[in-house]
A and B are shown apart, each in its own frame.
Chain A
């Protein structure tokens, strides 16, 4: 189903013989499955001009906890995969997205009110961003790691490791490119995540979840929630099993409170605007390729290993 077909069929619905198309139910993505919200709540999603698009699931606190639990379960497998394997999986996401380019272009155009050409360019950039981060998988340690020449007979090596389960509040304006720009750097190093999609533009996020589910990304590595960011964020920020939180999409919320909530378990925080080019949470803000792997490294811990040398 393409949205243009949808619009056409709505217009022709009354005509005899016209085909009524089959609409998609947009659900959550948790642990490799696509459940409705346990709360059974939905909310109306409209396009940039206010026309009805779909009823999206409105995730609850319980859904958020389930998502964290799924992400925790997936952590050992994903962080234990070789960097080469993770790189190939991320590249596979780009390949599968390319095959659904037209669908993403339609959804992004409707969600963000872009022209088809700009939406296409946005989808191009989103796919290329996966490719860019795919290449970082087996290079993060080479760029951020170091053999430290300590003053003694010791071998001393520092390497980045994934921090754990990361909660992500996705950018509110950039429904796909912004989303990819925050998910890819988190999972490339081996973290798993729970991502809260753009509240008013959540549909591309669910389509992306469908892509992830068919791209060799193990279930539970990326768990996608749709709903009200302000409702879900405090639970994620204070959750004991969440190691870090990306507040990219919280610029308009009271994100100081979220950071304070995260402080209780010393959850790592990336503040709104950090890591984008400074233009903030706009399509433009996420358009430029990041200058380096900083966003990925923000969700890693440096581990240093000492070992004596001697006969």
Chain B
């Protein structure tokens, strides 16, 4: 039988002009950090340096927070909602206009496939600004009281898995509600946030309304603990989320946390199996599994387990792993050496604890950080790979017999961000949804995101919601979350 292979189809980097180094975006200008220190951000697919970015220390954080405070008092809180909205519409439009530039940069800095950055991350980021632009002059209709008011200065710390999209989730609602922000992108993926600073300038956003400071954990810690900050919004690991909750304890800072997950993707025997397999693949291998709501635990009904796993392995063997900029790539590079080490370590633990490992037989590039799409069968609920968030392309398969058992197993986790249900029976979907302790339930689909749809977790997946009418509450005064 002839085999048909894909010719390379790389997206051009020519759309992008990177500077060798970047300063901090404070008060509408790029400024040098006080300490003068910098760090490199690399391309995880090749380990080559993309650019150097500044490391902000406490005095830089202070400058940024003061710039945000000044902008809040002098301009942003005095603008009408409709004028604020117009700035957000401008930003949405500029993101759409420069979408290819952002997609290429995101794939370079993060390692995700261009088809995901191009078709998911960037369009959703623009849509997020578009949606919240419309709220800016309609807040009294959002159901948060007759006189909704902003909080002031928001400190926002975001992760590396969806750098631009997480920026949009943070900045759009904050600005729509009348707050100003200081945002710190992740240490390994700062570049699209710095390019976003240029979008703010093109939109002629008043200086200081958006400030972007780069750095590692210490910078983030300094930002959230700054006394002049009114609101802390964090997306990242549960461990750091706990530290943040401890740090702000006793203060008047409003906090929202969007943390880890260990979502169950539940497949019943009456599910359309091919669709379910696509959903399982999308649920765990989308974005290399670097997704807090990833369907990392497959709960499959015993009677169809064998068939589902066979078809799943077959589908996995067709996944193309490699160059993130290639338009045919399904799975890109792992974001960092540290993350690759964690995925490798947890996978080894899976084998050591007795689960059976199967990895897609795909060639991996020599340079860069890579991990083959992997599935573990024979996983027991007590295994580490069934309990801990791996945050990589690794799926753990468990089985169940009855809907009640599926619910019990799905809820057997300290997390509660998302869950998936695959069945043709509508009433069962709703029965299950009522019992799953998770903030987002996908039925016969997975990993759907929309600016109108609230997102956030139960239990140790954090608190507060982002997106939709509900997400506005996180940026308005006087509303207990």
Would you list which residues of chain A between 85 and 143 have a CB under 8 Å from chain B?
Answer: 87-88, 91, 128, 131-132, 134-139, 142-143
A132 pairs with B130, CB closer than 8 A: no
Size of A's binding interface in residues, CB under 8 A: 26
A-B pair count, CB < 8 Å, reads 72
B89 pairs with A131, CB closer than 8 A: yes
Shortest Cβ distance from residue A231 to the other chain B in the assembled complex, whole angstroms: 38
B133 pairs with A293, CB closer than 8 A: no
Q: With A155-B430, A310-B431 as given contacts, are A139 and B134 in contact (CB-CB < 8 Å)?
A: yes
Q: Which residue of A lies closest to B403 (CB)?
A: A311
CA distance A158 to B203 in the complex (A): 38
B446 in the interface, Cβ–Cβ < 8 Å? no
A135 pairs with B141, CB closer than 8 A: no
Q: Which residue of B lies closest to A83 (CB)?
A: B452
A3 in the interface, Cβ–Cβ < 8 Å? no
Which residues of B are found within 8 Å of A135, using beta-carbon distances? 85, 133-138
CA distance A137 to B136 in the complex (A): 14
Q: With A142-B469, A307-B430 as given contacts, are A134 and B134 in contact (CB-CB < 8 Å)?
A: yes
Which residues of B are found within 8 Å of A289, using beta-carbon distances? 82, 137
B130 pairs with A87, CB closer than 8 A: yes
A309 pairs with B134, CB closer than 8 A: no
B426 in the interface, Cβ–Cβ < 8 Å? yes
B427 pairs with A307, CB closer than 8 A: yes
Q: Which residue of A lies closest to B89 (CB)?
A: A91
Shortest Cβ distance from residue B95 to the other chain A in the assembled complex, whole angstroms: 13
CA distance A308 to B429 in the complex (A): 10
B311 in the interface, Cβ–Cβ < 8 Å? no
CA distance A153 to B435 in the complex (A): 13
B135 pairs with A139, CB closer than 8 A: yes
B47 in the interface, Cβ–Cβ < 8 Å? no
Q: With A142-B452, A292-B141 as given contacts, are A310 and B428 in contact (CB-CB < 8 Å)?
A: yes
Report A296-311 CB contacts with B as 1/0, cut-off 8 Å. 0000000000011111
Which residues of B are found within 8 Å of A139, using beta-carbon distances? 134-135, 138, 141, 452, 469
Q: How large is the interface on B (under 10, 10 to 19, 20 to 34, 35 or more residues)?
A: 20 to 34
Q: Which residue of B lies closest to A135 (CB)?
A: B134
Which residues of A are found within 8 Å of B274, using beta-carbon distances? none
CA distance A142 to B469 in the complex (A): 7
Q: Which residue of A lies closest to B407 (CB)?
A: A311
Which residues of B are found within 8 Å of A142, using beta-carbon distances? 452, 468-469
Which residues of A are found within 8 Å of B131, using beta-carbon distances? 84, 138
A311 pairs with B431, CB closer than 8 A: yes
Which residues of B are found within 8 Å of A137, using beta-carbon distances? 134
Q: Which residue of B lies closest to A141 (CB)?
A: B452
Which residues of B are found within 8 Å of A308, using beta-carbon distances? 426-427, 430
Shortest Cβ distance from residue B104 to the other chain A in the assembled complex, whole angstroms: 24
CA distance A78 to B452 in the complex (A): 20
Q: Which residue of A lies closest to B404 (CB)?
A: A311
Which residues of A are found within 8 Å of B434, using beta-carbon distances? 309
B82 pairs with A138, CB closer than 8 A: no
B280 in the interface, Cβ–Cβ < 8 Å? no
B127 in the interface, Cβ–Cβ < 8 Å? yes
CA distance A7 to B339 in the complex (A): 73
CA distance A129 to B452 in the complex (A): 22
B66 in the interface, Cβ–Cβ < 8 Å? no
B86 in the interface, Cβ–Cβ < 8 Å? yes
Would you list which residues of chain B between 134 and 181 have a CB under 8 Å from chain A?
Answer: 134-138, 141-143
Which residues of B are found within 8 Å of A88, using beta-carbon distances? 130
Which residues of B are found within 8 Å of A293, using beta-carbon distances? 141
Q: With A132-B137, A139-B134 as given contacts, are A309 and B86 in contact (CB-CB < 8 Å)?
A: no
Q: Which residue of A lies closest to B134 (CB)?
A: A135
Which residues of A are found within 8 Å of B127, using beta-carbon distances? 84
Q: Which residue of A lies closest to B137 (CB)?
A: A132
B82 pairs with A131, CB closer than 8 A: yes
Q: Which residue of B lies closest to A292 (CB)?
A: B141
CA distance A91 to B143 in the complex (A): 24
Which residues of B are found within 8 Å of A91, using beta-carbon distances? 89, 130
Would you list which residues of chain B between 413 and 447 have a CB under 8 Å from chain A?
Answer: 426-428, 430-431, 434
CA distance A91 to B96 in the complex (A): 14
* 29 residue pairs bridging A and B, Cβ less than 8 Å apart: A84-B131, A84-B452, A91-B89, A128-B82, A134-B134, A135-B85, A135-B135, A135-B137, A136-B138, A138-B131, A138-B134, A138-B451, A139-B135, A139-B452, A142-B468, A143-B142, A289-B137, A292-B141, A307-B426, A307-B430, A308-B427, A308-B430, A309-B427, A309-B431, A310-B428, A310-B431, A311-B403, A311-B404, A311-B431
Q: Which 10 A-B pairs have the closest CB atoms?
A: A135-B134, A309-B430, A310-B427, A308-B427, A142-B469, A311-B403, A309-B431, A155-B430, A143-B141, A310-B431
**Apart from A131-B89, A137-B134, what 10 extra A-B contacts exist at CB < 8 Å?**
A84-B451, A132-B82, A132-B137, A135-B135, A138-B452, A143-B469, A307-B427, A309-B427, A311-B403, A311-B404
A residues with a Cβ closer than 8 A to B are 83-84, 87-88, 91, 128, 131-132, 134-139, 142-143, 153, 155, 289, 292-293, 307-311
